[in-house]
């Protein structure tokens, strides 16, 4: 009994994981939801295969088993695409698909954990949201600004974190 439950969960995890790999961009979600997507995809894909080959002939031949597996993965990808589109309200492709989601199962918790670690989830992928860079920065100007930043840090006007952020911004020139 336990072996059956574990094999079903492993099957759901594998098919759900393959579905997550098929769509570009991050898909942070709880373990159980990946298994759920995989199991639901397996059921839907298996039902389509049973409709095509007949319920008793789905795994009779190797090509039937392969097509059934592809249908299961395809159904899981479709379920994940619907989740991403309607729950997370993100596109399926393009630069916005590669951004860290702002809604969905477990997203707020994941964002809070990343912030505790000092990581801004909105800067993980894609372009930074409010990027302010001077259009024409000369080497001398950058050196002067770095010196001003150092002085502000040493005098205690700005924190070490603000200093590092300003220094990183100036390094791009």
Mean pLDDT of 140-145: 78
Average pLDDT of the chain? 84
**CA distance linking residue 64 with residue 122, whole number of Å:** 44
In the block, residue with structure tokens 């894909």: 45
Most confident of the following: 14-18, 52-56, 118-122, 131-135: 14-18
Whether the predicted pLDDT of 131 surpasses 50: no
Residue 138 pLDDT: 61
Q: How many CA atoms lie within 13 A of 109 on its CB side?
A: 6
Which residue has better confidence, 51 or 144? 51
pTM for the full model? 0.66
Residue 130 pLDDT: 47
Residue 72 pLDDT: 94
Residue 93: CB partners within 8 Å, gap ≥ 6?
A: 24
pLDDT in tens, 157-172: 888 888 888 888 877 6
Residue 48 pLDDT: 93
Residue ranges per structural domain of the chain: 2-123, 139-171
Whether the predicted pLDDT of 27 surpasses 90: no
pLDDT in tens, 87-119: 999 998 888 888 889 888 888 888 888 888 888
Share of the chain above pLDDT 70, in %: 90
pLDDT in tens, 57-85: 777 888 888 999 999 999 999 999 999 99
Residue 38 pLDDT: 95
Whether the predicted pLDDT of 127 surpasses 60: no
Whether the predicted pLDDT of 126 surpasses 70: no
């Amino acid at each position: 009994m336990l072996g059956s439950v574990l094999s079903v969960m492993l099957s759901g995890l594998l098919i759900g994981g393959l579905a997550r790999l098929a769509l570009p961009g991050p898909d942070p979600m709880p373990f159980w939801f990946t298994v759920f997507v995989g199991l639901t995809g397996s059921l839907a894909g298996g039902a389509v295969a049973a409709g095509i080959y007949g319920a008793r002939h789905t795994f009779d031949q190797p090509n039937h088993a392969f097509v059934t597996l592809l249908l299961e993965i395809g159904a899981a990808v479709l379920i994940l695409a619907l989740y991403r589109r309607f729950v997370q309200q993100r596109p399926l492709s393009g630069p916005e698909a590669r951004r860290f989601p702002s809604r969905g199962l477990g997203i707020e918790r994941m964002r809070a954990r990343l912030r505790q670690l000092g990581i801004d989830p909105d800067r993980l992928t894609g372009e930074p949201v409010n990027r302010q860079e001077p259009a024409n920065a000369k080497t001398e100007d950058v050196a002067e600004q770095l010196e001003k930043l150092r002085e502000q840090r040493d005098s205690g006007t700005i924190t070490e974190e603000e200093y590092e952020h300003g220094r990183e911004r100036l390094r791009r020139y």
